[in-house]
Structure formats: C-alpha cells, structure tokens
Amino acid sequence: MNIGGRVAVVTGGGSGAGRSLCLAFARQDAEGVVVADLDGDTAAEVAAEIEAEGHRAIAVPTDVAAEADVQALTARVMDEFGRIDLFCSNAGIIVGGGVDVPDADWTRMWAVNVQSHVYVTRAVLPAMLERGAGYLMLTASAAGLLTQLGSAPYAVTKHAAVALAEWLSITYGDRGLTVSCLCPQAFTSNLLTTSRRQVDARQPSPGSEVGSPQAAVDGVLTADQVAATVLEGLADERFLILPHPEVALYERRRAGDRERWLRGMRRLQARLTGSR
C-alpha cells in the first residue's frame, strides 16, 4: 500500500509507536490521519502537530476496549472522510505477573490487547469487503511469536492477537482485505506508563520490562524506527512486520525444536532473575 492519498486510522496514536505512525503517514501525504487514543489530550496534540505541518488530521478520544467507542470512531471517520483505507489497531498494555494476576487485570488485558482488534474488525470489515479493498494492521509483539518472561497476560494476549491476524488474512485475504501483524521487540515507548492508568501498577518481573536485557538483546529501537519499518512493510504488503528481523530466526528455532527452545528460555529467565 502506498500511503499517499489514503485515509489512515491509528489507535493508541497519542504516544509511542502510534504517534510516530501518525506523523509518518502524514509526511507520506496521507489524505487524512485519524489519531485515536484513550487520552484525548495527547491525541489532540498529535493531530495539531500534523496540521501544523500542513496535513489533515483529526483526534478522536477512544477507549478501544469499549465496542461502542470503536463504532463511534469508525462513524466519525466515515463522516469526515467517507472511507477508511488503513486501520492500525495499535493500542496495547502490559502488566507483570503470572497466573496470580488479579482477574480484573486479566480482563482489561484481554479487552485492550485482543478484543479491541475484534471490535475494530467488526467495525471496518463490511465496508472494506464491499469495496473489495482495505488494510488492517494489528499490533501484537515479538512476545506473540515467542513469549514474555515475567508477564503471562502479555504473552498470552499477544499470541492471541497474532492468531487473530492470521485468521483474518486466511479468511478474507482473497476478498480484498490485506492484513499485517506488527511484532516489535524493545523500542522506546511509554507502554508501562500508559498501562498503569488501566491496570495494576506493579512492574513486570525482571527480564520482562520493555528495554530489559531479555528484550534488548538485539537493540532498543526508537518509535520512529518502528514506524519506518511499518511503512516498508505496508508498501510490500507483508503479513509479518518485524522491526527486529532477528525475531524470524528465533521463531524458526522455536518451531524447529520446541523442547530446546523451552530449556533455553528457562536458562535465560534464571539468569535475568538471579535464581540460578
């Protein structure tokens, strides 16, 4: 997909990779950029920055965990621009812990990291199929292909996001819908800060934080670098967009010898937590 002349919607667009995506799309001459975020003030700031550079943008406060909000977002974009060419379902949160994480936090993680993608798809799919053209990009994580040490909810929900993206591509890929799945490792973001507004403020266990030794083995990227990789992936219409290309190798190793991979991950976890 060439972003020029397209209408793009980005959830979680007020900060981090979402903000960088919004700015990158505008600078690629998108017809319009829709900045959706739970924090309406940051969304408005990003939209204003885009408009100050001479491009068209609107900000829409949106709780992606509420289907009514997603439907309202979609309706607002249709009223403003008449169509949605690209929808980046990008919002996500993290909380540390295992199966002991409180039910309320598990529920919110599922709602934001998985169910929001379902709500987005429900909202945009009928019009995209009718037009025979449309692009969905779901943001998951390298954790959705591998795992997330110290955070069972994050690993589980991101795996579910990857599975949903695969299912959508298989089911609708021959009917005009293009699907990509963004799976970054560590990059500079405010994931932990935004997560604390919605779930338990506990830090993830050692080795699971964004920017930790586990995630940063291959380097911590900037949000702008992630956005640049997304532009390349969208241009090629690649399903899997990997800002850290090494993740593809790790996934092949995992699939090729899962027992060995599990042993290696246990050793890595022990080193990072100092338990061995």
Give residue-wise pLDDT tens across range 122-169.
999 999 999 999 999 999 999 999 999 999 999 999 999 999 999 999
Cβ atoms of 10 and 43 within 8 Å: the answer is no
Quote the pTM value: 0.90
The catalytic site residues sit at 154
* Token pair listed for 63: 């709780």
Q: What is the pLDDT of residues 49-87, one digit of tens each?
A: 999 999 999 999 999 999 999 999 999 999 999 999 999
Contacts of 103 (CB under 8 A, 6+ apart): none
Q: What is the pLDDT of residues 226-263, one digit of tens each?
A: 999 999 999 999 999 999 999 999 999 999 999 999 99
Query: For the chain, which domains are there?
Result: 7-247 (3.40.50.720)
